[in-house]
Amino acid sequence: MKARGIALLMGLVLLAALSLLAVMAANGMLLQRRMSANFSAGSQALAQATRGLEEARAWLNSRADFEREADCSDDCLLPAAVYRPGELPRNPEFEGVAWWQSHGIATGHHPETGEPLTAGESETRPSRWIIEELHYAPAPSAAAGDIAGIGYYRILARATGGSLGSLAVTESIVARPWGGEYGPAPFPADRPSSAFCRQFDPAISCGTLAWRRRR
């Protein structure tokens, strides 16, 4: 009887150990699943924010020269959807959803009419983008050609992934020549944004100068 009791006790201990290992394994799998879901949602948010940056740059490159006052460097007439220097908060990445909905342009929609750019636009939480002019400078005389000057812009885009907890805010600093014999880019874009810059002398600043994820 004593031997049977010891065997029963050892069996119970072994069963308890196996149950504990099974619970730990299940918790580990659940944690990995959650981490994978968070990574996927974060990647989705970053991809949507990047799409917003590209659309904003295409919109900026599609503007005609008359939409920006020639040679103006302060308090200028700027194209629609472009803010003047200092109009935006220093850290827009920490502004709430309501602020972005009020100030930002929904990706996949026309900046002026708000209409979808393509039929069947289905994003329930589209990324939003904002353009701010940072500085305007006359083009270098040695390579200016017919270009009057170059505008430097900050483009910000905010997006959420598959869950509301996933968030990405990205920033690009871009240069855009103004004034001269060139063709504005099409909008919506039907070619890479770099095609616009290939029209200009390589010595002229054009395109993305810097990129970073702010949040």
Residue 57 above 90 pLDDT? Answer: yes
* Contact assessment for residue 185 and residue 198, using Cβ atoms and an 8 Å cutoff: no
198 — pLDDT class (breaks 50, 70, 90): very high
Q: Are 56 and 129 in contact (CB under 8 A)?
A: yes
Band (pLDDT 50/70/90 cuts) for residue 192 is confident
Output the average pLDDT for the chain: 83
Question: Euclidean distance between the first and final Cα of the chain, in Å?
Answer: 68
pLDDT at 153: 96
**How do the domains of the chain map onto residue ranges?**
32-213
Angle at 130 between CA 147 and CA 77, to 5 degrees: 45
In this structure, the chain runs to a length of: 215
pLDDT mean over 178-196 = 89
Residue 205 to residue 166: CA distance in whole angstroms: 35
Least reliable range by pLDDT among 86-90, 107-111, 114-118, 183-187: 114-118
Among 198, 201, 182, 209, smallest CA distance to 142 is for 201
Return the percentage of the chain with pLDDT > 90, whole number: 42
28 versus 138: which is more confidently predicted? 138
Instruction: Assign 149 to helix, strand or coil.
Output: strand
